[in-house]
Copies of this chain bind each other. A is one copy, B any other.
Amino acid sequence: MGRPFTARLGANESTFGPSPIAIAAMQTAASETWMYADPESYDLRHALAKHHQVMPANIMVGEGIDTLLGLVVRLYIAPGDAVVTSAGAYPTFNYHVAGFGGALHAVPYKNDHEDPDALIAKAQEVNAKLIYIANPDNPMGSWHGAAAIQNMIDRLPSGCMLVLDEAYIELAPEGAAPPIQTDAENVIRMRTFSKAHGMAGARVGYAIGSVDVISAFNKVRNHFGMSRIGQIGALAALQDNAWLKHIRNEVATARNRIAQIASENGLAVLPSATNFVTIDCGQDGDFARKVLAALVADGIFVRMPFVAPQDRCIRVSCGTPEQLDAFAAALPDALKVAFTPTHGKLG
């Protein structure tokens, strides 16, 4: 629209910013950006291995989860191979599946959660090579406990790999992530510095898996794909536990505030394990789309799920008090606009 949004609450970015230590490291690295990044991400990979108590050979650093998902699809999916996901789950994964000719099969959410039983059953039915699940989930913010995910892993059909997208895991309650088992050849887990670490623009993600699963990336990845500043910033961010704790507090405060705003407008929110909150607008998708359009027109950037019945909701990223005040100020009018009957169409 040619003007910045009043409140940028649509992309689940961490408006609270990256760790000040990471910012300082990136600023220092800026003058050294004439050098290529280390193609092996040696320092970052070793630090991540220590952090997760795995071997460096269990970690592949890449240019964000999007890039890593593309490589996984390229490695495992030949044209026509079946892939299973949830209807309305992460569209970029679906984009990669389509791009490499995979046959995508989607199962519905169950009570606004991705449905492990349905995903496993569909994978068995279509002989899937990959299942995608995000835990916590985007766009609903819901999550499963570790036992449910572990149970899913234990029931994977032979020849089927689970792509477990844990982009939001640092913001989930304790006990949402099953233990990392690096001897499992049928699970690849995705993590990122984009969400809790507040470095979406730096493009640093990583995969955790068995040595064989991880080494396969070397056949197809761009060996010089990483940004040097991002690599150095991520290494610094990983050390700053105090900032991560601060972010968890900010996110918890913002979740509560969004719930309060929703409640003041007679709306319910879904419990969230992420840095966004999904508000149930209480009607159908057409209604929620009107609410969203009115908010966007008022400078409040939010998004919504694509698929019914989740599209009855809008998705609001955790923002600063000022941003959420702006959202609170805009929501009543947006609901009023959405409730106003349309008596005719202007062609």
The residue that A222 contacts in the complex, of B8, B37, B67, B223, with Cβ under 8 A, is: B67
The residue that A200 contacts in the complex, of B33, B99, B201, B223, with Cβ under 8 A, is: B33
Cβ of A254: which chain B residues have Cβ within 8 Å of it?
Answer: none
* Interface bits A25-62 vs B (CB < 8 Å: 1, else 0): 01101111111110000000000000000000000000
B227 and A67: CB pair below 8 A?
A: no
The residue that A229 contacts in the complex, of B201, B225, B226, with Cβ under 8 A, is: B201
Is residue A299 contacting chain B, with contact meaning CB distance below 8 A?
A: no
Is residue A15 contacting chain B, with contact meaning CB distance below 8 A?
A: yes
A34 and B201: CB pair below 8 A?
A: yes
Cβ of A70: which chain B residues have Cβ within 8 Å of it?
Answer: 222
List residues 187-201 of chain A with CB under 8 A from any CB of chain B.
194, 198-201
Q: Report the separation of the CA atoms of residues A223 and B16 in the bound assembly, to the nearest whole angstrom.
A: 24
CB closest residue in chain B, given A227: B227
B33 and A66: CB pair below 8 A?
A: no
Cβ of A16: which chain B residues have Cβ within 8 Å of it?
Answer: 34
Q: Report the separation of the CA atoms of residues A17 and B29 in the bound assembly, to the nearest whole angstrom.
A: 12
Cβ of A18: which chain B residues have Cβ within 8 Å of it?
Answer: 30-31, 33-34
A30 and B36: CB pair below 8 A?
A: no
The residue that A63 contacts in the complex, of B17, B220, B225, with Cβ under 8 A, is: B225
In this complex, the member of A8, A70, A99, A230 whose beta carbon has the largest number of chain B beta carbons within 10 angstroms is A230
Cβ of A223: which chain B residues have Cβ within 8 Å of it?
Answer: 92
Cβ of A224: which chain B residues have Cβ within 8 Å of it?
Answer: 64, 66, 92, 203
* Interface bits A277-311 vs B (CB < 8 Å: 1, else 0): 00000000000000000000000000000000000
B34 and A200: CB pair below 8 A?
A: yes
Query: How many of A's residues come within 8 Å of B, CB to CB?
Result: 46
Is residue A233 contacting chain B, with contact meaning CB distance below 8 A?
A: yes
- How many copies of this kind of chain does the complex include? 2
Q: Report the separation of the CA atoms of residues A203 and B224 in the bound assembly, to the nearest whole angstrom.
A: 8
Cβ of A13: which chain B residues have Cβ within 8 Å of it?
Answer: 34-36
Is residue A3 contacting chain B, with contact meaning CB distance below 8 A?
A: no
Cβ of A14: which chain B residues have Cβ within 8 Å of it?
Answer: 34
A30 and B35: CB pair below 8 A?
A: no
Is residue A219 contacting chain B, with contact meaning CB distance below 8 A?
A: yes
Cβ of A220: which chain B residues have Cβ within 8 Å of it?
Answer: 99
B227 and A35: CB pair below 8 A?
A: no
The residue that A36 contacts in the complex, of B26, B63, B200, B225, with Cβ under 8 A, is: B200
Distance (Å) between the CB of A95 and the closest chain B CB? 8
Given known A-B contacts A26-B229, A229-B229, A230-B227, A34 and B15 have beta carbons under 8 A apart: yes
A202 and B222: CB pair below 8 A?
A: no
Is residue A228 contacting chain B, with contact meaning CB distance below 8 A?
A: yes
Cβ of A29: which chain B residues have Cβ within 8 Å of it?
Answer: 201
Distance (Å) between the CB of A253 and the closest chain B CB? 17
CB closest residue in chain B, given A25: B30
Distance (Å) between the CB of A56 and the closest chain B CB? 16
**11 intermolecular pairs with C-beta atoms under 8 Å apart:** A11-B35, A23-B31, A29-B201, A30-B229, A35-B201, A36-B194, A63-B63, A202-B228, A203-B226, A227-B230, A229-B229
